[in-house]
Amino acid sequence: MDFNPLNIFQGLGTLLAAEPAVALTRLALIAVGILLFYLGSKEILEPLLMIPMGIGMAAVNAGVLFLAAGKVGTIFIDPLITEPAQLLEVLQIDFLQPIYTFMFSNGLIACLVFMGIGAITDVGYLVAKPFSSMFIAVCAELGTIVVFPIAMLFGLNPGQAASIAMVGGADGPMVLYTSLMLSKDLFVPITIVAYLYLSLTYGGYPFLIKLLVPRRLRAVPMDLSSIPVVKASQKLLFSIVTCTVLCLLFPVAAPLFLSFFVGVAVREAGLRHYVDLISGPVLYGSTFFLGLMLGVLCEASTILNPKILLLFVLGVLALLISGIGGIAGGYVMYFVTRGKYNPVVGIAGVSCVPTTAKVAQKVINETDPYVLVLPYAVGANISGVITTAILAGLYVTIVPLLH
């Protein structure tokens, strides 16, 4: 019997047996996974997502083995399997398949993340300054709106175009949910693109702010004494009314609205045990498995999809345009208030809670450590969650009518 060490070390064996393009892509993705892991560990990118995503991406592209009938694959996840008998078999073999099937592919994990975000979110700043907050948030949806027709010009169908355009809202659960509803064929790559770029808002938006807002305007102080105190009862009323109205107008996005506002409600009702559960194990457990799932979905066969490069370009374009739109909204508020509104707050309208609000305050602190804008930024940030959810509801409702 011939001894072949590559039959023992099958990761190497499948690498050498693969087509050159596949082998090179696997090696590149292993390197990208290690890089994301490093950048997350250094907090250059969002560590909560990048550490599990990076290590998952490296592991799934290294751990390819020979399967039955001369096929190669992994025992992590099979995202494309739909036939019931095959699915039952795979559920007993692929170790992350149960999480993918029962939590990821139906949008449950997105709802759990949204619920956790609600539980750590203080809507008081939005209730205190609703008009300026919502104006900023609407301006920061520019990429979500503009990229839709651009994507269609590049050959994507309306569902695919709407899904990748949602990246401009910088709200991962919204992108995940919209792509599940409108473009299941590209659900996996669109979601991967979305979360890769959402983490880049952490490292990329500071440069955009410094490019578009001069130093003297980054140091504009804001009057915190004008922010009224909002009672818990007012926040509870806001939550139930807003949730009900949004569900009434956009029932297709009702699971997301419910998830976010029930998190807000338990926080404001002082239900400490629920808050501890939802803001702790539920939020961080869901975020961890979301990052890990995204990492192991980054197989070479998925990334070699010819539409992937287009999705990458459109995703970054959507986030760039939304960031520019948010800052433009900040400038409008600066002129309307006659120089009493810091334009940097505009970036917080991009709904990546609480990252973009923290980015705004961090950039301002580098200019003047005594200028505090975080309350205004949080109000715009939370408004961004609502406007992104509304746009998701609009896309999911209207796009099927275009076919």
Q: Mean pLDDT, the chain, as a whole number?
A: 89
296-345 pLDDT, tens digit per residue, is 988 887 777 777 889 889 998 999 999 999 999 999 999 999 999 999 99
Distances (CA, A) of 241 to 234, 244, 262, 284: 11, 5, 12, 28
Per-residue pLDDT tens over the stretch 5-45 = 666 788 888 888 888 888 999 999 999 999 999 988 988 87
**What confidence tens digit (pLDDT) does each residue in 242-287 have?**
999 999 988 888 888 999 999 999 999 999 999 999 999 999 999 9
- Segment 348-374, tens digit of pLDDT: 999 888 889 999 999 999 999 999 999
Q: For residues 379 and 130, give the distance between their C-alpha atoms in angstroms, rounded to a whole number.
A: 8
* Lowest model confidence (mean pLDDT) among 104-108, 126-130, 311-315: 104-108
Q: Which amino acid belongs to residue 53?
A: M
The pLDDT tens digits for 153-173 are: 999 999 999 999 999 988 888
- For a pLDDT cut of 90, what percent of the chain falls above it? 53
How far is residue 175's CA from residue 192's CA, in Å, rounded to a whole number? 10
> Residue 1: what pLDDT?
44
Structure tokens at 364: 């301002």
Q: How confident is the model at residue 403 (pLDDT cuts 50, 70, 90)?
A: low
Query: What pLDDT is stored for residue 83 in this prediction?
Result: 81
Q: pLDDT (tens digit, 9 = 90+) per residue, 52-99?
A: 999 999 999 999 988 876 688 888 988 877 788 888 888 888 989 999
Which of 51-75 are b and which e, b meaning 16 or more Cβ less than 10 Å from the residue's Cβ? bbbbbbbbbbbbebeeeeeeebbbb
